[in-house]
Amino acid sequence: MTDRLRKKSKYTQNTWLNRAEKTLLRAMVLGAVLLTLFQFRTIVDPVDFYLKIAGDIDFPAFKYEEYVNPEQESSAVINKCFVLDFQAKPESPVLVRQNDKVLGIIGNGLSLEVEPGTVYLDATSVDYPVTVFIKFNGEVYQIELNKDEKSFQIFFAE
Protein backbone atom coordinates (compact mmCIF):
# COMPACT_ATOMS: atom_id res chain seq x y z
CA MET A 1 0.00 0.00 0.00
CA THR A 2 2.82 2.40 0.80
CA ASP A 3 4.48 1.61 -2.53
CA ARG A 4 1.31 2.55 -4.30
CA LEU A 5 1.01 5.85 -2.48
CA ARG A 6 4.64 6.65 -3.09
CA LYS A 7 4.32 6.05 -6.83
CA LYS A 8 1.11 7.99 -7.04
CA SER A 9 2.43 10.95 -5.12
CA LYS A 10 5.67 10.93 -7.09
CA TYR A 11 3.95 11.34 -10.48
CA THR A 12 0.91 13.37 -9.59
CA GLN A 13 2.78 16.03 -7.68
CA ASN A 14 2.68 19.20 -9.80
CA THR A 15 4.37 22.07 -8.03
CA TRP A 16 4.56 25.68 -9.17
CA LEU A 17 8.21 25.06 -10.06
CA ASN A 18 7.30 22.34 -12.57
CA ARG A 19 4.60 24.53 -14.12
CA ALA A 20 7.03 27.46 -14.40
CA GLU A 21 9.61 25.21 -16.04
CA LYS A 22 7.07 23.96 -18.63
CA THR A 23 5.95 27.51 -19.36
CA LEU A 24 9.54 28.71 -19.75
CA LEU A 25 10.38 25.86 -22.14
CA ARG A 26 7.29 26.54 -24.24
CA ALA A 27 8.16 30.25 -24.42
CA MET A 28 11.74 29.46 -25.49
CA VAL A 29 10.57 27.09 -28.24
CA LEU A 30 8.03 29.64 -29.45
CA GLY A 31 10.74 32.34 -29.49
CA ALA A 32 13.09 30.12 -31.51
CA VAL A 33 10.35 29.38 -34.05
CA LEU A 34 9.47 33.08 -34.37
CA LEU A 35 13.14 34.06 -34.87
CA THR A 36 13.49 31.45 -37.60
CA LEU A 37 10.36 32.69 -39.36
CA PHE A 38 11.54 36.31 -39.21
CA GLN A 39 14.91 35.35 -40.68
CA PHE A 40 13.25 33.56 -43.59
CA ARG A 41 10.98 36.53 -44.18
CA THR A 42 13.94 38.93 -44.63
CA ILE A 43 15.36 36.79 -47.44
CA VAL A 44 12.54 37.31 -49.91
CA ASP A 45 14.51 36.79 -53.12
CA PRO A 46 17.58 34.57 -52.64
CA VAL A 47 19.19 35.77 -55.89
CA ASP A 48 19.06 39.44 -54.84
CA PHE A 49 20.34 38.51 -51.39
CA TYR A 50 23.25 36.56 -52.89
CA LEU A 51 24.17 39.34 -55.33
CA LYS A 52 24.15 41.92 -52.55
CA ILE A 53 26.31 39.84 -50.21
CA ALA A 54 28.65 38.60 -52.95
CA GLY A 55 29.15 42.12 -54.31
CA ASP A 56 30.14 43.41 -50.88
CA ILE A 57 32.54 40.53 -50.29
CA ASP A 58 34.11 40.28 -53.76
CA PHE A 59 34.61 44.01 -54.33
CA PRO A 60 34.82 45.88 -51.04
CA ALA A 61 35.68 49.56 -50.99
CA PHE A 62 39.43 49.97 -50.68
CA LYS A 63 41.59 52.53 -48.91
CA TYR A 64 44.71 53.94 -50.44
CA GLU A 65 46.57 54.74 -47.22
CA GLU A 66 48.07 51.23 -47.29
CA TYR A 67 49.50 51.71 -50.78
CA VAL A 68 51.08 55.17 -50.69
CA ASN A 69 54.78 55.08 -51.56
CA PRO A 70 57.01 57.09 -49.18
CA GLU A 71 58.89 58.83 -52.03
CA GLN A 72 55.64 59.98 -53.62
CA GLU A 73 54.22 60.97 -50.24
CA SER A 74 56.61 63.91 -49.91
CA SER A 75 55.64 65.27 -53.34
CA ALA A 76 51.95 64.72 -52.61
CA VAL A 77 52.18 66.71 -49.38
CA ILE A 78 53.47 69.69 -51.33
CA ASN A 79 50.68 69.46 -53.93
CA LYS A 80 48.00 68.28 -51.46
CA CYS A 81 46.48 66.34 -54.37
CA PHE A 82 46.63 62.83 -55.74
CA VAL A 83 46.67 61.96 -59.43
CA LEU A 84 44.34 59.09 -60.31
CA ASP A 85 43.91 57.56 -63.76
CA PHE A 86 40.46 56.09 -64.42
CA GLN A 87 39.47 53.61 -67.12
CA ALA A 88 35.98 52.09 -67.55
CA LYS A 89 35.34 48.74 -69.24
CA PRO A 90 33.14 48.83 -71.24
CA GLU A 91 33.36 52.52 -72.04
CA SER A 92 30.67 54.15 -69.93
CA PRO A 93 29.71 57.58 -68.61
CA VAL A 94 30.64 57.01 -64.96
CA LEU A 95 30.66 60.21 -62.89
CA VAL A 96 33.58 60.94 -60.56
CA ARG A 97 32.51 63.18 -57.67
CA GLN A 98 34.17 64.66 -54.62
CA ASN A 99 32.87 67.25 -52.13
CA ASP A 100 29.52 67.44 -53.98
CA LYS A 101 31.27 68.48 -57.21
CA VAL A 102 31.53 66.46 -60.42
CA LEU A 103 35.25 66.19 -61.18
CA GLY A 104 34.79 64.41 -64.49
CA ILE A 105 33.11 61.70 -66.50
CA ILE A 106 34.96 58.49 -67.25
CA GLY A 107 34.44 57.52 -70.84
CA ASN A 108 37.44 56.23 -72.72
CA GLY A 109 39.75 57.27 -69.88
CA LEU A 110 40.29 60.10 -67.45
CA SER A 111 43.17 61.46 -65.38
CA LEU A 112 42.22 63.61 -62.38
CA GLU A 113 43.81 65.37 -59.46
CA VAL A 114 41.77 64.63 -56.35
CA GLU A 115 42.06 66.00 -52.85
CA PRO A 116 42.38 63.75 -49.82
CA GLY A 117 38.96 62.48 -48.76
CA THR A 118 36.13 60.44 -50.21
CA VAL A 119 35.82 59.94 -53.97
CA TYR A 120 32.50 58.70 -55.37
CA LEU A 121 32.01 56.70 -58.56
CA ASP A 122 28.41 57.03 -59.80
CA ALA A 123 27.07 54.60 -62.41
CA THR A 124 23.37 54.93 -61.58
CA SER A 125 22.61 56.11 -65.13
CA VAL A 126 24.42 53.16 -66.75
CA ASP A 127 22.13 50.20 -67.50
CA TYR A 128 24.82 47.49 -67.50
CA PRO A 129 27.67 46.36 -65.21
CA VAL A 130 30.85 48.42 -65.46
CA THR A 131 34.34 47.76 -64.14
CA VAL A 132 36.31 50.89 -63.27
CA PHE A 133 40.09 50.51 -63.19
CA ILE A 134 41.96 53.07 -61.07
CA LYS A 135 45.70 53.51 -61.44
CA PHE A 136 47.45 54.99 -58.41
CA ASN A 137 51.15 54.84 -57.47
CA GLY A 138 51.85 52.36 -60.26
CA GLU A 139 49.22 49.89 -59.04
CA VAL A 140 45.85 49.20 -60.64
CA TYR A 141 42.69 48.70 -58.58
CA GLN A 142 39.21 47.86 -59.79
CA ILE A 143 35.69 48.57 -58.59
CA GLU A 144 32.61 46.79 -59.95
CA LEU A 145 29.57 49.02 -60.48
CA ASN A 146 26.11 47.73 -61.37
CA LYS A 147 23.69 50.67 -61.61
CA ASP A 148 24.94 51.92 -58.24
CA GLU A 149 27.35 54.30 -56.57
CA LYS A 150 30.46 53.29 -54.63
CA SER A 151 33.06 55.31 -52.85
CA PHE A 152 36.62 54.97 -51.63
CA GLN A 153 38.83 56.93 -49.26
CA ILE A 154 42.11 58.50 -50.24
CA PHE A 155 44.36 60.40 -47.87
CA PHE A 156 47.96 60.80 -46.78
CA ALA A 157 49.51 57.88 -44.89
CA GLU A 158 51.28 58.90 -41.74
Q: pLDDT tens for the chain, 158 residues: list them.
A: 555 555 555 555 678 888 899 999 999 999 999 888 777 766 666 676 677 667 666 555 555 555 566 555 555 445 578 888 989 888 888 989 998 888 888 887 888 888 888 899 998 888 889 999 999 888 888 889 988 899 888 877 65
> Residue 44 contacts by C-beta under 8 Å, 6 or more apart in sequence?
none
- Cα distance between residue 101 and residue 99, in whole Å: 5
b/e map 106-123, b = 16+ CB within 10 Å: beeebebebebeebbbbb
b/e map 38-64, b = 16+ CB within 10 Å: eeeeeeeeeeeeeeeeeeeeeeeeeeb
Whether the CB-CB separation of 94 and 121 falls below 8 Å is answered with yes
Report the 10 Å Cβ neighbour count for 154: 21
**Which pLDDT value is given to residue 23?**
94
Cα 157 to chain centroid distance, Å, stands at: 24
**Which pLDDT value is given to residue 31?**
92
Report the 10 Å Cβ neighbour count for 155: 14
b/e map 3-22, b = 16+ CB within 10 Å: eeeeeeeeeeeeeeeeeeee
The whole-model pTM stands at 0.48
**Which pLDDT value is given to residue 136?**
86
Provide the residue count of the chain. 158
**Which pLDDT value is given to residue 76?**
45
**Which pLDDT value is given to residue 57?**
63
**Which pLDDT value is given to residue 77?**
47
- Cα distance between residue 88 and residue 108, in whole Å: 7
